[in-house]
Structure 1
Amino acid sequence: MMRIFLFLATNLAVLVIASITLRLLGVDRYTGTNYGSLLAFCAVFGFAGSLVSLFISKWMAKMSTRTEIISQPRTRHEQWLLQTVEELSREAGIRMPEVGIFPAYEANAFATGWNRNDALVAVSQGLLERFSPDEVKAVLAHEIGHVANGDMVTLALIQGVVNTFVMFFARIFGNFVDKAILKNEDGHGIGYFVATIFAELVLGILASIIVMWFSRKREFKADEAGAQLAGTSAMIGALQRLRSEQDVPVQMPDSLTAFGINGGLKNGLAGLLMSHPPLEERIEALRRRG
């Protein structure tokens, strides 16, 4: 129920912000041949969704995963967690992020936030219970690597760009089918809407492949950062432990999966839409790195 509410609230915010922006720009209406206005229209909606999600990412993460922020440590484990994140953040050159624990049996962690100095790093209860201190530190270092590299902002911008061009080219294709093929001269007919929806579905899949390719590249970079901060052997050990638990289903919300330590396991064509590369490839990359 909470995820449905968050989804509806986010989309409502996107519509309101996009509508206001379009009116201020004077491009709330466009014709089929006014490609400048069409591109501006698509850019506003394309970036609105990704940027709104970015700015409220911490709030959404806390609500959707039921993450409990550690403001005052109550146990020595929480004290160690805060001290470790503080140490890693200082070494990475970023401000200390908020630190939290979310109730999940799966071994996972995530980082989110709209900029590198206002972030959230959280780990699952299962990870804390089953991983060694060195492995937990390596996982935290991986997430700090995401923050220090600015991956949240970069991925949001890339998503905004691909959203823009998916909408733009889908509408051009719809207009072509409607006017050139169906010879409709009276506004947008049914052919325009059917062709546009079809094009958005096809282009949306291709755009997702591009975004997920970039996300997989970011995982290798975050692993390297984790190895630099916590040690290569510790980072490899954490990934090997994750590999041993691959049968446990990943329960992270889709909006956070790209910044988790574990993105699940899929092969073949489905692997093109995965946010994380296979753990074997990540381990081998760290071994080659030395």
Structure 2
Amino acid sequence: MFKRIALFLATNLAVLALLSIVMAVLQNVFGIQLGNNGALLLMATMFGFGGSMISLMLSKWMAKRGTGAYVIEQPRNESEQWLVTTVRRQAEAAGIKMPEVAIYDAPEINAFATGPSRNNSLVAVSTGLLRAMSREEAEAVLAHEVSHVANGDMVTMALIQGVLNTFVIVLARVVGRVIDSYISGNREGGPGIGYYVIVFVLDMVFGLFASMIAMWFSRYREFRADAGGASLAGRDKMIAALQRLSQTYGASTLPKQVAAFGISGAVGHGLSKLLMSHPPLEQRIEALRNVSPMQSAQGRVVSR
């Protein structure tokens, strides 16, 4: 938990430092007054959405590089042929274009989906999953990941993160301006050093709350992907896959940019649960058990 918070704070400090430099250059070199709310909103939107959209566009390339995934172009054996055939069948049922299918070398049981759109995506499974899971369990995991793609979760998460980033940048600077003018009594001149210190702190505080909101949505979409997986592969298979994960779960080695789209995520305790991308496996299993087989069979992954 402390390493996660330290990484979060370090990331925010780096982003804030870059933002401050760019704002200073725009203000002092180009004469753009970012005290103006319109200019501030424009800059916040560029920074808020820019990073998340670039990450989305590069998501497949980053995932392949980060995991060393091998994309199956021509199946080399029966196992690879089964993976491609299963994903193709599920993609057709979900109404999306066939994703790229890949395998990455990792001991844990895991899989992920990523890509910039529903029709330009990647589904990858670990070698640990292929060794430890039955075909029926693996089929349910693939259906879960295909459901992420069909539900447009990658795009939605990027948009939500962009909105939250923009909100944090604007609110921190507006509130910082008010606090700085109240403390210093300087309501006419430009901001002093106190303003930048205040904005530093507010960026981190508001950013922490924004991360909690993003992770709440991430946990919600896991329940949706489980329901979609049950619709595509069968409820019993999806429950069996989650039970297998709960019996063998270990620390994930997925890189940060795709960790939220893995089949399972880190387990949190206390307040750290608010920063977890996945709900506990027992909650996901219980949610599926509360869905009748008829509802599961008739469930829709996404509106086509």
CA shift for structure 1 position 165: 0.5
Q: What's the secondary structure of 2:266's corresponding residue?
A: coil
How far residue 58 of structure 1 moved from its aligned partner, in angstroms, is 0.3
SS at match of 2:117: coil
Task: Output the amino acid matched with 1:111.
Answer: A
Q: Which residue in the other structure is 1:129 paired with? A: 131
Paired position in structure 2 for 1:245: 248
SS in 1 for 2:113: strand
Q: Please state if 1:228 is matched with 2:234.
A: no
For residue 215 of structure 1, the aligned residue among 204, 215, 218 is: 218
Report the Cα distance in structure 2 between the residues aligned to 1:127 and 1:188, rounded to whole angstroms.
55
| Structure 1 residues without counterparts, runs of 5 or longer | 1-7
1:69 alignment partner in structure 2: 71
2:116 aligns with 114
For 1:174, the aligned partner's letter is: G
Paired position in structure 2 for 1:148? 150
| Alpha-carbon distance between aligned partners in 2 of 1:222 and 1:65, rounded to the nearest angstrom | 22
1:214 Cα offset (Å)? 0.4
Cα displacement string for residues 110-153 of structure 1 (whole angstroms, at most 9, x for unaligned residues): 00000000000000000011100000000000000000000000
**TM-score, length basis structure 2:** 0.85
Q: In structure 1, what is the equivalent of residue 164 of structure 2?
A: 162
Which residue is equivalent to 2:3? none
Identity of aligned pairs, percent? Answer: 54
Residues 177, 191 of structure 1: 8 Å contact kept: no
Structure of greater relative contact order (alpha carbons < 8 Å, 6+ residues apart)? 2
Contact 1:170/1:203 (CA < 8 Å) preserved in 2? yes
Deviation at 1:230, TM superposition (A): 0.3
Which one is further off, 182-191 or 157-166?
182-191
Report Cα offsets for 1:37-86 as digits up to 9, x if no partner: 21111011000011000000000000001111011111110011100100
Instruction: State the Cα distance separating 1:265 from its structure 2 match.
Output: 1.1
SS of match in other structure, 2:125? strand
- RMSD of aligned residue pairs (Cα, Å): 2.1
| 1:191-214 Cα distance to aligned partner (Å, 9 max, x none) | 111000100100001000000000
For residue 180 of structure 1, what is the amino acid of its counterpart? Y
Which of 97, 100, 103 is the matching residue for 1:101?
A: 103
Where does residue 279 of structure 2 map in the other structure?
A: 277
